């Protein structure tokens, strides 16, 4: 019989830890709760959970430091919770090794969806998932990861990437793309080129090129075949 996924909750606010715990148990996960960073870290080492939900602002050892120490030895997904939502804080959190980021007050459905997505990512046997190189698309959860990092896409960006990812190596011309992703409009814009630009900006900041231009034809999604690509 398959083992239930084990989730470690590190959160100094007991009332918040409590309902996250209740919800995760109701979703049929095993949980461990700790109320500070030091205990959290030792419980992580002791139990080796499948996923960590980590509060950022905690006394003694804060969430950033806990994330950094976990990352030294493990690839376990970390979802950070925080009351601060400025861009800087997000960047710092993600740089410390967190895989995802939720700002309080968050909806519990959102957290549960992220937990599911990250657990699926570490467990490749789950269906509804497309992988090309280090790109992982979770079609049910409508989530995209590149190299383990969750990437936020708009609805149309996701649809466009999904079209490519379901047909890796297939070259699409602009007309086909427009018909599939923007069926309600009848051409007459460079929307495809612009959206390929948006996707590249988000997906290819780190890591190689994924969406390649085939001059005079269209676009194709495939693993970077090295230099010499247009």
Partner 1 sequence: MRLRLQLTLVFGAFIAIILSAVAVSVYFLTERSLSAGVADQAQSALAEITGGTSTIAEGLQKLPSNSYHQILFVGAPDRPPSTVSALRIGVSYFSNSNLLGPLSDNALQRLLDDGEVAATVNLGGESISVLGRLGTVSFPREERSMPAAFLVGIPVNLMTATLDQLKRDLVVTVVLAFLVFALGVWVLSERVLSSLKSVTEAAGHVSGSDLSRRVPVPASGDEITDLALSINHMLDRLQESFETQRRFTADASHELRTPVTAIGGHVSYLLRRTHPTGDQLDSLEVIQRESERMAKLVNDLLELARADAGFTVELQPMNLVEVVETVRKEVAPMARGAVIEVSTRTPLVEVQGDPARLKQVVLNLVQNAINAGAEKVTMSIAVERHQVRLEVLDDGSGIVPEAVPHLFERFYRVDGARSGRGNGSGLGLAIVKWLVQQHGGSVEVESRLGEGSVFTVLLPASDKRTLVDHQPGRATLVDGLKTWAGGSGRSG
Residues that bind partner 1 (CB under 8 A): 13, 15-16, 18-20, 22-23, 26, 83-87, 104-109, 154-156, 171, 173-176, 178, 182, 184-185, 187-191, 194-195, 197-198, 201, 216-218
The answer to whether the beta carbons of residues 32 and 9 sit under 8 Å apart is: yes
CB of 189 to partner 1, least distance (A): 5
CB of 27 to partner 1, least distance (A): 10
CB of 56 to partner 1, least distance (A): 12
Residue by residue, DSSP assigns 167-190 as STT--EEHHHHHHHH-TTS-S-S-
134 vs 204, beta carbon nearer partner 1: 204
Distance CA 15, CA 17 (A): 6
134 vs 159, beta carbon nearer partner 1: 159
Distance CA 158, CA 147 (A): 17
The answer to whether the beta carbons of residues 158 and 140 sit under 8 Å apart is: no
**Which residue do the tokens 């599911």 mark?**
116
16 vs 122, beta carbon nearer partner 1: 16
17 vs 98, beta carbon nearer partner 1: 17
CB of 13 to partner 1, least distance (A): 5
Angle at 71 between CA 56 and CA 144, to 5 degrees: 80
Q: 91 is written with which tokens?
A: 């960047």
CB of 29 to partner 1, least distance (A): 14
The answer to whether the beta carbons of residues 4 and 15 sit under 8 Å apart is: no
188 vs 228, beta carbon nearer partner 1: 188
């Amino acid at each position: 019989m398959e083992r239930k996924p084990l989730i470690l909750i590190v959160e100094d606010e007991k009332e918040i830890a409590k309902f996250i715990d209740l919800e995760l148990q109701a979703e049929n996960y095993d949980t461990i709760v700790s109320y500070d960073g030091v205990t959290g870290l030792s419980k992580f080492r002791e139990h080796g959970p499948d996923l960590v939900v980590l509060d950022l602002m905690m006394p003694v050892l804060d969430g950033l430091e806990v994330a950094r120490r976990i990352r030294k030895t493990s690839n376990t997904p970390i979802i950070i919770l925080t009351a601060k939502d400025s861009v800087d804080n997000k960047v710092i959190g993600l740089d410390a090794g967190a895989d995802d980021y939720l700002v309080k007050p968050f909806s519990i459905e959102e957290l549960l969806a992220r937990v599911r997505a990250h657990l699926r990512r570490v467990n490749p046997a789950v269906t509804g998932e497309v992988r090309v190189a280090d790109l992982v698309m979770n079609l049910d959860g409508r989530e995209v990861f590149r190299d383990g990092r969750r990437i936020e896409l708009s609805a149309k960006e996701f649809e466009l990437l999904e079209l490519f990812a379901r047909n890796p190596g297939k070259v699409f011309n602009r007309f086909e793309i427009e018909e599939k992703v923007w069926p309600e409009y009848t051409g007459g814009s460079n929307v495809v080129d612009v959206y390929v630009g948006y996707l590249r900006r988000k997906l290819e900041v780190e890591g190689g090129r994924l969406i390649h231009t085939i001059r005079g034809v269209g676009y194709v999604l495939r693993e970077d075949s090295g230099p010499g690509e247009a």
